[in-house]
Structure 1
Amino acid sequence: MSTSHPQSPPDGAADDEPRPEPIRFYGVSWVDHSGGYGARRAGLTLSALLLAAMGGTLLFLGYSGLDSSETAGWLRAMVVIAFAICTAMAATRTWIRYTRPAPENAVDESAFRSIKVVGFVGVFLAYALRSTVEAPGEKLRRLDYETAVARHRRRTAKRSGHPARRRRGKRA
């Protein structure tokens, strides 16, 4: 079994051809859905759902602790609202990152890191839902890769061969 580097060109491909960008947990198997792609996608979907369930259980236990410590009702309500809003925002931002290209004037994703930490259940749910369709981010990577390959083919098709071997016209 040969282990080729994900950035090495496939057999018969030129060194200057564009190479697909690897996706976390999938490498470049998303290009042709090889190397256990389906099993990996199913496993990651189930893992993300399991982590979301465990996170929900953890949040429930935390809320139960607030409830048993006789914390004020308004404070318990604020905690639930904060987690619900952060979960919804984290799920939405994660889903959008997997399905749409980032706009030119996009806000830096690191500004939302704390919201994603608090709403971690939403991140896991968005990952699990996207994994049921394809590898998260595959649509965007495929679009970029196919555009780069098409651009490369157009560029190389215009060449008529090695310039030194061209026949030169007769000089007068």
Structure 2
Amino acid sequence: MPSNEEPRDEATPEDPQAPRPEPLRFYGTTWVDHSGGYALRRAAFALGALLAAVVGALVLRFAYEGLAIAEVGGWVSIMIVVAFAVCSSLAFSRTLGAYSRRADESRPAAPDSSLRSVKAIGFIGVLLAYALRTFVEAPGERLRRAEYEEALARHERLRAARTGNPSARKRNKPKRKR
């Protein structure tokens, strides 16, 4: 796996105090300038997630056939299918939404932790959401890019306000008469 190299942007080489981008899982900081095999890695992860979703669907089909062989009854089979469908759709929507907004630190993590079991049951939805987002961009890239660009703009504003020799600035105060 390639190393997490620092991005090659304008602010980094000359200004060591410039903000650094947050690394993304599996991508490091290559999402900033799309270097280091970024596109190939995105395609591989998208196809891997789709393949894992297909394998998961096959496993669920074998489990459903096991229920049919056990002759548990039609209502149990329907309940199982509905449960997996609902959990997959909830997991899909929550996972896809989590890539576009950062978790609120002021709120407790209870709502997300209470949905862990739903996401585990609806793992196919999680995998499909990951694959869908990876076809568009690295999961979480849009959020991190917006935060990084905002931090760079803030840094540039602060740096521009501090440039120059303060003693050489013109003073707007009128001189006192003697």
Q: Greater shift after overlay, 27-36 or 92-101?
A: 92-101
- Report if the CA contact (8 A) 2:87-2:122 is conserved: yes
- Matching of residues 126-145 of structure 1 within 5 Å: 126-145=129-148
Shift of residue 36, structure 1, vs aligned partner: 0.2
- The separation in 2 between residues aligned to 1:75 and 1:114, in whole angstroms, is 20
Looking at structure 2, the residues matched to 123 and 79 of structure 1 have their Cα atoms a distance apart, in angstroms, of: 18
For 1:119-140, what per-residue CA distance to the aligned partner results, in whole angstroms no more than 9, with x for missing partners?
0000000000111111011000
Aligned to 1:51: 52
* 1:6/1:22 contact within 8 Å kept: no
The runs of 5 or more residues in structure 2 that have no matched partner are 172-177
1:31 paired with 2:32, answer yes
Residue of structure 1 in register with 2:158 after alignment: 155
CA shift digits 1:4-50 (9 cap, x unpaired):
7659x986242211110011110000000000000000000100000
Tell me the distance in 2 between the aligned counterparts of 1:159 and 1:11. Answer: 18
Q: Structure 1 CA distance, aligned partners of 2:6 and 2:111?
A: 28
For 2:69 and 2:137, the matched residues in 1 are separated by 43
In the superposition, the TM-score normalised over structure 1's length comes to 0.86
Which residue of structure 1 aligns with residue 42 of structure 2?
41
Letter in 1 for 2:133: R
Instruction: Give per-residue Cα distances to partners, 1:111-167, cap 9 Å, x unaligned.
Output: 21111100000000000011111101100000000000000100111003466xx35
What does the per-residue CA deviation read over 1:43-68, in whole Å, with 9 as the maximum and x for residues that have no partner? 00100000000000011011110111
In 1, the alpha carbon distance for the partners of 2:32 and 2:83 equals 39
1:1-172 to structure 2, matched below 5 A, reads 6=6, 12-102=13-103, 108-161=111-164, 166=167
CA distance in 1, matches of 2:89, 2:49: 16
- Find the residue that maps to 1:27 and give its secondary structure: coil
Identity between Structure 1 and Structure 2 (%)? 48
Query: Higher mean Cα deviation, 56-65 or 107-116?
Result: 107-116
**RMSD value, Cα:** 2.7
- Distance in 2 (CA, whole Å) between partners of 1:59 and 1:100 is 31
Q: Quick one: which amino acid aligns to residue 96 of structure 1?
A: G
Whose Rg is larger?
A: 2
List structure 1 runs of 4+ shifted beyond 6 angstroms: none
Give the TM-score taking structure 2 as reference length. Answer: 0.83
CA distance in 1, matches of 2:4, 2:137: 24
One-letter amino acid of the structure 2 residue matched with residue 61 of structure 1: F
Query: How far, CA to CA, are the matches of 1:138 and 1:85 in structure 2?
Result: 28
Cα pair distance change 1:90/1:13, threshold 3 Å: farther
